Structure 1
Amino acid sequence: MISDVNPFAFMQKARLARWVRTQFDPTEYGMVPFAMLDAGRAGPPTPARRVEEMQAVADAAWAGDWRTAASYVDRAGEEWAERWHRLEVLQEIAGHDDAWLDEWRRKDPDNGDAATLHAQLLVHRAWEIRGPGYVNQVSPERMQRFRQMLPAAMEAAQHAAELAPRDPGPWVVMITTARPLKYRGMQFNTLWEGLVERAPHHYSGHWQALQYWCAKWCGTDKQMMDFAERAVRNAPEGSPLAGIYLHALSELTERHGASAPVTTAKVKGILAEVARSLSHVPEDAEALPRLRHLLAYYLGENGDHAAALEQFRLIGPWCGAEPWTDKRDPVAAFQLARGIAAARTEDGKLPADAGSLARWGRTGG
């Protein structure tokens, strides 16, 4: 706390913002200094070893060697989250040049990974044609081409599922494609059951399903929130699955703005559960950094400033993620949010060498 009695509890937000700008020293609260903040990334860089491995796969593929890509995916075994991540890497590589994928499919037509990747690429290209934005922001011509491409993507994913019956990957592609195809609830649930039968806690699959159930697509706010709450309840230790709830809150905020029902006693309680669940997720989990940003934000919005402060300490210098990137100045928005968390946390200050400040270093690196 800045003093024994919190002087900010009754102050206007403008006065608190002024304190953050002129007096707030993040290092006193175990956070990195303002000068270290980096809006270019959501979290730490990918380890050099993984970057080198991915680059080697890309270079081999673009040189016509599809076998290196096949081996890259196959080494993930039945670690389905890692296997899906590797397929996403290959999708990005194929997005630049897919001649090697065509050759892979010709030489090994019964390979489920190649078939899944082909289906992924069809969906990705359809979305590239559609572009971002709501339906009323997309030209009729682009929307027509988008819809014409989707049935082929669904058919390709179904074929991949036949070739790789144990792999949840094709089912993630089907769930992704079902949304713009406007599958009815019973049709979608059949696909969902196929996914969870193979990988009940598949993070990417849950994220795609959340999009299906949101009001801007095929569901309602209630259906989306019910789905997200089940994800929190079902999340196993070490899984980022509970973070799906944070994406649901973000959807509500995007849809309803300041009137979004994201600051209630129920939400605050569930956020505490999400925080506990994410505390067991390995630090190198790909989804974790972005989830911490959302968690810190919504904890602060719900008045759990001590818990928000702890997330800001864990986040470190990175602020290139939602919700900060939705603002005109992400660094300023991030600095204000963590300053408010510090100001409104009892005993928030830490000794100079304590907390996560030592983890990030006082001068960078």
Structure 2
Amino acid sequence: MVGTMALLRPFIRTPRMPRTPSRPAPGPCADDEVLLDAPDARLGPALVAAAQDDHGPAAGLLSGTRAAAEWERRDRYVTRLAAFAHARPQWCEDWLAAAPRDPDALLVGAQLAVDRAWRSPARAELLREVSPLITAAAKADDRDPVPWRLALDHARGARAGHTYFGELWAAAVRRAPHHYGCHVAALRYLAESWHGSHRECFDFADRAAQDAPADALVQALPLRAAFGYLTDGCGPGVPRARLDAAADRAIALSARLVPADPWPARMRNLLIFVLVRLERWSDASEQLRLTGPYATSFPWDRAAEDPLGHFLQVRAEVRAAAPGQRSRQPLPGLGGHARPGDH
């Protein structure tokens, strides 16, 4: 374990970024005003056009993220566009036919292929078949870390060994040392390789967050480690102070991000989930205020068939409990089992 942790340790430090002033979030919204997985203002038009079998806006959107090196947004947009293509594949097929060497089309196509393989009982065999698609996407733009995040996900699904995974990881962080998606992929690999070894996962997540700028999404990586521990129900206990520290780091990140906006909603929904499990009602209430009307399927779909309904139920419970006292005592039943996660 020690050797692999050293291999995966983030190795490039950058200066801390100044805090961005935040704007106040709007007041509470009614249940029927809450939106599930709402796209941001840039992704929305691309999805609307895709529904009309027009790939042009999606191509323009992703091309813009490459030009501006907006790797976090690029990763999120690729994932959402591939999810749309799973249900409506024609526009993506037309895009690939029209521009077979386009880095953006290749990446969405590779993400779609991995998603399809992951859902199949023949996952390992199908994942081997899509390897050339990931390679083509990576070669199409050597700066882009997102194909390497996809390669890391692919390696986990194919149960690749530590040495090979470490080589992929090194290539990913050379391109973007603090890319959140790549770090989440690595954390998931570690969690599966060392099932129950939550402290090692926390070590990796904490080091990554410490090395990252204060406004980078990697600041939420310890929160992902906390979520894994709280929903896993196996392995030795993690000190309550470490769980609180992970939540506190994510709270600090949330304060730097725009309130009531679809972009940070996924991180804030996860933060609310963890804060509720820790019975930190006042903190959860504040994050609900900052989240505004934006619910996300993850993490609520890990515990219920109806993620929006579950979010609304939790929101009502938080409102009923807050203002409450922040508990610092170990809580019974912090573990538990969530529904199987996505890849």
* Aligned-partner Cα distance in 1 for 2:236–2:274: 12
* Aligned-partner Cα distance in 1 for 2:64–2:113: 24
Q: Which amino acid counterpart does residue 214 of structure 1 have in structure 2?
A: A
| Unmatched 5+ stretches in structure 1 | 1-29, 130-141, 346-365
2:152/2:165 contact within 8 Å kept: yes
Tell me whether 1:55 sits opposite 2:55 in the alignment: no
Determine the structure 2 residue equivalent to 1:336: 317
Q: Provide Cα deviations, 1:301-340, integer angstroms capped at 9, x if missing partner.
A: 5465543342233234666656666269733433223432
Partner of 2:178, secondary structure, is coil
Determine the structure 1 residue equivalent to 2:103: 112
Aligned counterpart in structure 1 of residue 158 of structure 2, from 181, 185, 202: 181
Q: Provide Cα deviations, 1:89-114, integer angstroms capped at 9, x if missing partner.
A: 43234324445544544554433223
Tell me whether 1:191 sits opposite 2:168 in the alignment: yes
1:31/1:312 contact within 8 Å kept: no
Partner of 2:109, secondary structure, is helix
> CA shift at 1:46, angstroms?
3.6
1:307–1:55 CA distance, 2 compared to 1 (3 A): same
* Aligned-partner Cα distance in 2 for 1:83–1:319: 21
Partner of 2:256, secondary structure, is coil
Aligned counterpart in structure 1 of residue 64 of structure 2, from 66, 75, 88: 75
1:82–1:104 CA distance, 2 compared to 1 (3 A): same
Q: Name the TM-score, length of structure 2 as normaliser.
A: 0.72
Tell me whether 1:121 sits opposite 2:115 in the alignment: no
Q: Which amino acid counterpart does residue 63 of structure 2 have in structure 1?
A: D
Tell me whether 1:84 sits opposite 2:75 in the alignment: yes
1:212/1:219 contact within 8 Å kept: no
Q: Provide Cα deviations, 1:143-181, integer angstroms capped at 9, x if missing partner.
A: xx2211111222221222222211112111101100011
Larger RCO of the pair (alpha carbons < 8 Å, separation 6+): 1
* Aligned-partner Cα distance in 2 for 1:285–1:195: 28
Moved more, 189-198 or 316-325: 316-325
Determine the structure 1 residue equivalent to 2:256: 280
Partner of 2:157, secondary structure, is coil
> Please, what is the CA RMSD of the aligned residues?
3.4
Determine the structure 2 residue equivalent to 1:25: none
* Aligned-partner Cα distance in 1 for 2:106–2:298: 33
2:198/2:229 contact within 8 Å kept: yes
Tell me whether 1:37 sits opposite 2:38 in the alignment: no
1:232/1:274 contact within 8 Å kept: no
Q: Provide Cα deviations, 1:166-215, integer angstroms capped at 9, x if missing partner.
A: 11121111011000111111211111111111122222222222211113
Q: Name the TM-score, length of structure 1 as normaliser.
A: 0.68
Moved more, 206-215 or 179-188: 206-215
Partner of 1:95, secondary structure, is helix
* Aligned-partner Cα distance in 2 for 1:70–1:321: 25
* Aligned-partner Cα distance in 2 for 1:157–1:88: 14
1:39/1:318 contact within 8 Å kept: no
2:223/2:246 contact within 8 Å kept: no
* Aligned-partner Cα distance in 2 for 1:324–1:260: 25
Partner of 2:192, secondary structure, is coil
Written as runs of structure 1 = structure 2, the 5 A alignment for 1:266-277 is 266-277=242-253
Q: Which amino acid counterpart does residue 90 of structure 1 have in structure 2?
A: L
Partner of 1:279, secondary structure, is helix
1:263–1:341 CA distance, 2 compared to 1 (3 A): farther
1:297/1:323 contact within 8 Å kept: yes
Partner of 1:72, secondary structure, is helix
* Aligned-partner Cα distance in 1 for 2:61–2:250: 33
Written as runs of structure 1 = structure 2, the 5 A alignment for 1:150-299 is 150-215=127-192, 220-256=197-233, 261=237, 264-283=240-259, 286=262, 288-299=264-275
> CA shift at 1:126, angstroms?
0.5
Q: Which amino acid counterpart does residue 339 of structure 1 have in structure 2?
A: A
Partner of 1:215, secondary structure, is helix
Partner of 1:237, secondary structure, is coil
1:343–1:219 CA distance, 2 compared to 1 (3 A): closer
Q: How many residues align?
A: 294
Larger radius of gyration: 1
> CA shift at 1:296, angstroms?
3.3
Percent identity, aligned pairs only?
A: 26
